[in-house]
Structures are given as C-alpha cells and as structure tokens.
Amino acid sequence: MSLRILMNGCCGYMGRCIAAMCKNNPKIDLVCGVDISDNTEGLDFPVFSEASAVDVDFDVIVDFSHFSCIPKIVEFAVSRKKPIVCCTTGLTEEHLKLLDDASKEIPVFKSANMSLGINVMIALCRKMTNLLYPDYDIEIVEAHHNRKLDAPSGTALMIADAIKDEIDNEVNYVYDRQSVRRKREKTDIGISSIRGGNIVGEHEVMYIGGEEILKISHSAQTRDVFARGALAAARFVFGKEPGYYDMTDMIQL
C-alpha cells in the first residue's frame, strides 16, 4: 500500500517538484494539495484553498509553503491527528513553539534543510569545531537565488547552531560587520549571505587559523535533493509516536 501525501504549498516550485517525483514512485501517492494560489495547471490531484476544506483521506502532510501558512497547517495536522513534515524556512520562534507544542500530540518532522549531504556536513562541522576551536576562527557563507526572502538561510543558522552546541562558552552570531565596527572576537561566528541568479543553495564553513584555512562546503545542484529528502522524511515519520523528529533521527536509523 502506498503512502498517501497531502502537499501543503503544492503550487509552488518545491510542491511541483515533489508532485513530479511522486509520479515515478509506486510507494508514494500524492492524493491532494493545499495552496492559496489558483495556478493548478499540470497538477493531477485535487487542490484546496484551505486545509480545513480537505475531504480526501491521507497519511502524512508535507509542508513546503510560506512561513505565514504554518499556524493553520499545524492546527489542521493536530485536528486530524496526522504527522507533518515541515520543510518551510524563515520560521519565527512563535512558529517553532507551535511545532513543538504540536509534537506532544502528533509526530512532527522539522528540518531547515532536507538534504542528506547537508546533514553529513553538519556532523563533520561538529567534529572539526571540537578539534580546532578556539584556535581557529569560524565563518559561514551561504548563497541562494535572488527570490529567497529570508537571510541568513535556515540552513546557515542550523549549521551555526550545531557548531555553537559544541562550544562551552557563549558565542555571538555576527551578520553585518559594517554595523559592528570592532575587531573580530574569538567568540564570533560570522554568517554572510549572497543572493543572485538561480543558485539552488550553497553553504561553506571556514575554519581560519594563523597558518592554514580548512573549508567544508555543500552545493545543491537541483532542488530534487530537497524533494527526495522530504519524501524520505514522510516515510520515516509515518507510524511514529508523537514527538519532534529531524534528519539526525532519520540518518541514525
């Protein structure tokens, strides 16, 4: 029996990418979608303007929408007692609290980046931080297409948070050195953003010493990598007990 997906944000680029991928996967069936857009051309499943209007049975919600849509889709997931895979970026602390509260009632899978490679990169950054900090300064550079709204990217912050977890003392994220106007402190982690063209997603972490520089980088070639990861997360979270899950849980399994 195939896994039945409700795609929130189905008319967007990632929604359509996932829809195309589901067509070639006999184990997954995209049964319906939700989107405020009425541009449903090419979509061969029912699309609802609001989640509350969905009258199709499904197993898991995959969310690739806008952060403003998070409250309604989370409320809907809880009301239907269905797992949700949240791939939307730019979430506020309020949104994250909503997801955390929901995880007490349903399985919630949340990751700022659904790529397996990025999550392997984060694991390597944890090891390198333990080996090199504080003798090496740490800087993060991320680049995305010119249509991306949030900066820095959720993935850059996810990398920075993982590095921060490995450091005993307080660290400061520095986004704009022009406004800071001071010498770099050992406790700084610089995060720089580039926006241009059609860059899918690039992240580089630099460990800068007095005599050498070590770099770890990841470049997504197509958005298929995020769609594939989202569908893998949907398969992983289906049938799980209520709780908060992420890519680390899936990779370890």
Task: Cite the active site residues.
Answer: 144, 148
CB 113 within 8 A of CB 137: no
Q: How far apart are the C-alpha atoms of 158 and 88, rounded to whole Å?
A: 13
From residue 160, how far is each of 140, 155, 189, 204 by CA, in Å? 8, 9, 7, 11
User: What's the CA dihedral at 227, 230, 231, 236 to 10 degrees?
Assistant: 160
For residue 69, the one-letter residue type is: C
Give the tokens for residue 21.
Answer: 């991928």
For 24, counting Cβ atoms within 10 Å of its Cβ (0-12 exposed, 13-18 middle, 19+ buried), the class is exposed
What are the DSSP E strand ranges found in the chain?
Answer: 3-8, 28-34, 47-48, 60-63, 84-86, 107-110, 137-144, 172-174, 188-195, 202-208, 213-219, 243-245
Listed residue (53, 62, 59, 48) closest to 81, CA to CA: 59
